[in-house]
Amino acid sequence: TFRAGEKVDQVRVERRPHQFLYKDDLGLHFMNTETYEQINLPVDSIEGKDYIKEGATIDIIMHAGTGEPLTTEIPSAVELSVSKTDPGIKGDTATGATKPATVESGATVNVPLFINEGDVIRVNTESGEYVTRVSSA
């Protein structure tokens, strides 16, 4: 809360598209898709980081005056390939049961029993939940 008469400075921000390059001990590395300038952000500063794959584009919100990154925005849903899961069983489509699956970004997502390795699924990046199968292997 603010007292009467207090003033708040407005900050201009810019949304800049960046491509995810790689992750290492220093953090996550991104490249501005317009200027090709690279920046490094700490892993803890990015929500939904487990669902970002190499080459994905996210928006980094930056202070317009200083160019300092303030926050990131990743898409609300992403399409990822299932890299590891137990084999599906024919007919397991309507039971509602799930199994863990590892996707190409390294995250683990609970998926329906009919999902197999190589399938492409849509994942909600806010909840980490399976949304739908996009294509099958």
Tokens, residue 129: 């939940």
- Return the pLDDT at 92: 58
Q: Answer yes or no: are the C-beta atoms of 31 and 38 closer than 8 Å.
A: yes
Q: Decide if pLDDT at 136 tops 70.
A: yes
Residue 93 has pLDDT above 70, yes or no: no
Of residues 59, 51, 40, the one with CA closest to residue 101: 51
User: Are β-strands 27-32 and 38-41 bridged in parallel, bridged antiparallel, or unpaired?
Assistant: antiparallel
- Reduced to 3 states, what is the DSSP secondary structure of residue 38? strand
pLDDT at 94 over 90: no
Is the pLDDT assigned to residue 15 strictly greater than 70?
Answer: yes
* Mean pLDDT computed over 10-22: 94
- What average pLDDT does the segment 13-41 reach? 95
Instruction: Kindly report the length of the chain.
Output: 137
pLDDT tens-digit series, residues 38-70: 999 999 988 889 999 999 999 999 999 899 999
Distance CA 100, CA 54 (A): 22
92 vs 19: which has the higher pLDDT? 19
Measuring CA to CA, which residue among 51, 53, 47 is closest to residue 77?
51
Any residues with CB less than 8 A from the CB of 32 and at least 6 apart, and which?
A: 16, 17, 18, 38, 39
State the pLDDT confidence band at 87, using cuts at 50, 70 and 90.
confident
The DSSP letter of residue 54 is T
* Domains within the chain, CATH numbers bracketed: 13-73 (2.40.50.140), 77-135 (2.40.50.140)
Q: Is the pLDDT of residue 9 over 90?
A: no
Instruction: List beta partners, residue 11.
Output: none
Residue range 78-103: mean pLDDT, rounded: 83
